[in-house]
Structure 1
């Protein structure tokens, strides 16, 4: 029998490597977040205004949901989860929604949403759940500090993220589940703050979520950072009304992930074109030496440039551009 074509052998080898990598690391801990019981949250009507009174009422109601989940965790003797939830239910925290079940969901506001002229929505990638929520919040705090007044950052943990090392993180299934919720949230946000400049910042697997939700979405910019790909061949395929940006730090291991998409009978594996390649066609922002989890680190070039996109100071087609460019192959520099 003749040998299969070289390209076919390469794809088969890649598939084997991806599957092996997905199952090689023990995943016994992956069941822990969903194993901690939590009550169903109270039903809340959609917010139609960002009036301070309406927001304060929602924050108080959601605080009660978090406190109830904390009590359930304490009864389950998960003292770490209980302590984290007590902190999340503190008077200085502002959640628009919360659900402690199945790993957890939460949408937290950092800043004054009622008066914000610029809003950044952070969409996390794989491995972020209630037990690792502090990573997302840390980035939100750093971005809010960089943006300054008249801005708000929203940490949108609105979906069941895949485990970092899992077959689920290699397919777009979770992103397809998450996209309608993200679109709905952005619609609610626009009703509350119709004149605010809103930007989506999408990290790692979160960029797959944002790409799925992008079609016609009413935001100013969609920023893909540390992205493994989006599942689409190029930025135009997203049919986004927004400017699509991409950045990758020189210290990010995601650069070594093969940018392919394998169509199999049961699923598509991989996410296709590299978003920082010229073939994808995104506007490229400089991300400095950022590692995969460092893009929102205080004082970093990546944080500074993403903040400039959020404020509108950094424009496509070269406006307010840095001299530095993103590492590796790139699209249009801005």
Structure 2
């Protein structure tokens, strides 16, 4: 006879699958929110220069600060005080953006640490519900990782890459890999630019939640040292194990003990005109990832200062971690 926890777990998964199916099948009348405040188009800066200089970074940071200030003015014109306050914070001289586009929820690439001298670089890829309105939590995680790596003294930099339209957590879109397929080539192109700019740096890509789906889809085009997947709802369609990622990177996976994503059905099933589910859970036996200690926190606690998973991820990125292929 099945134990009560197993029965409860299966029931939760079944109910979640039913809710997801219903959310697609039933028309979502009135789901669209209020019209978003527009933002001016960004400056055309072009790609990073191969073997570039600190002066190039300074120029980019200044140009993007100008774009952020322009977006702030527009937000004030539309009387969106919360957005204006967010943008005013981003425009502070201490913030360093490689790119900024305030349109369509926002696209940003922010640097924590000195990229011009970095010998270790981590590209952080966010999950669902990450946009200009929620950007502070993403930035806080990137800053915590940079500090855990040792800051400027360790010649480490963390690049917070919000380069795609993240799905809403409460939406059918979050259980399809469509957004990941759209984002993957953008991530690949950015990482190639970054590595051309700092070719001697040890580069890793660190991917949270739906961002892990993005990274899995991009993996074959990411020539990096490590691919870190944590709090993952699945690695997308047609990927059953690490070999299916077609990457030379060391693949790591972790999930905290109290992360609700454990109860997401790691299945794929057709519903009307789409397929729901994000496929294989990278922490499961047989996937073949190196598992890392992820502590007892929740879905949003992985990069919390002082946490077990933050220390684990920093060790991976720095090259100091010992891999234990316990998921094999």
TM-score by length of 2: 0.89
State the distance in 1 between where 2:96 and 2:24 align.
Answer: 36
Report deviation, 1:131. Answer: 0.3
Distance 1:128 1:28 in 2: 22
Report what 1:198 is aligned to: 203
Residues 8-29 of structure 1, C-alpha deviation per residue, up to 9 Å, x if partnerless? xxx99764332336799x9978
Paired residue for 2:286?
279
Distance 2:24 2:134 in 1: 20
Q: Is the 8 A contact 1:23 1:165 kept in 2?
A: no
- What is the alpha-carbon distance in structure 2 between the residues aligned to residue 280 and residue 143 of structure 1? 26
Deviations 1:267-298 (A, max 9, x none): 22111111101121111001011210000001
- State the SS of the aligned residue for 2:33: helix
Q: 1:220 is matched with which residue?
A: 225
Determine if contact 2:40/2:71 at 8 Å carries over to the other structure: yes
Residue 133 of structure 2 aligns to a residue whose secondary structure is helix
Q: Which residue is 2:42 aligned to?
A: 41
Instruction: Deviation per CA, 1:35-78: give whole Å up to 9, x if none.
Output: 11101111112111441111000100111111111111111110
Asked if structure 2 preserves the Cα contact closer than 8 Å seen for 1:221 and 1:242, the reply is yes
Match for residue 4 of structure 1?
Answer: none
Mark the runs of 5 or more structure 2 residues left unpaired by the alignment. 1-12
CA distance in 1, matches of 2:296, 2:30: 33
Residues 102-121 of structure 1 aligned to structure 2 (within 5 Å): 102-121=104-123
Q: TM-score, normalised by structure 1?
A: 0.88
CA distance in 2, matches of 1:62, 1:315: 39
Cα deviation for residue 112 of structure 1 reads 0.3
The residue correspondences of 1:39-78 to structure 2 (distance < 5 A) are: 39-48=40-49, 49-78=51-80
Q: How does 1:75-94 map to 2 (within 5 A)?
A: 75-94=77-96
The equivalent of 2:327 in structure 1 is 331
Question: 1:151-207 CA distances to partner (integer Å, 9 max, x unpaired)?
Answer: 000110000000111011010111111111100000000110001011111000000
Residue matched to 1:243:
250
Q: Is 1:315 aligned to 2:322, yes or no?
A: yes
Distance 2:16 2:140 in 1: 35
1:267 paired residue number: 274
**Which deviations, in whole Å up to 9, do the C-alpha atoms of 1:274-330 show, x marking residues without a partner?**
110112111100101121000000111100000000000003347xxxxxxxxxxx6
Report the count of equivalent residues: 310
Distance 1:198 1:147 in 2: 13
CA separation in 1, counterparts of 2:94 and 2:268?
Answer: 44
What's the CA shift for 1:263? 4.0
Contact 1:126-1:162 at 8 Å conserved across structures: yes
CA RMSD of aligned residues (A): 2.2
Residue in structure 2 matched with residue 146 of structure 1 by the alignment:
148
1:20 aligns with 2:22: yes
Unaligned runs of 5+ in 1: 1-10, 319-329
Q: Distance in 2 between the 1:247 and 1:83 partners? A: 35
Q: Could you tell me whether the CA contact under 8 Å between 1:248 and 1:290 is conserved in 2?
A: no
Query: Is the 1:207–1:225 contact (alpha carbons within 8 Å) kept by the matching residues of 2?
Result: yes
Q: How does 1:293-312 map onto structure 2 within 5 Å?
A: 293-312=300-319
Inter-partner Cα distance in structure 1 for 2:321 and 2:29: 41
Moved over 4 A (4+): 11-15, 21-24, 26-30
**SS at structure 2 position matched to 1:177:** helix
- Aligned partners of 2:259, 2:177: CA distance in 1, in Å? 21
Distance 1:12 1:91, change over 3 A: closer
What residue in structure 1 maps to residue 162 of structure 2? 157
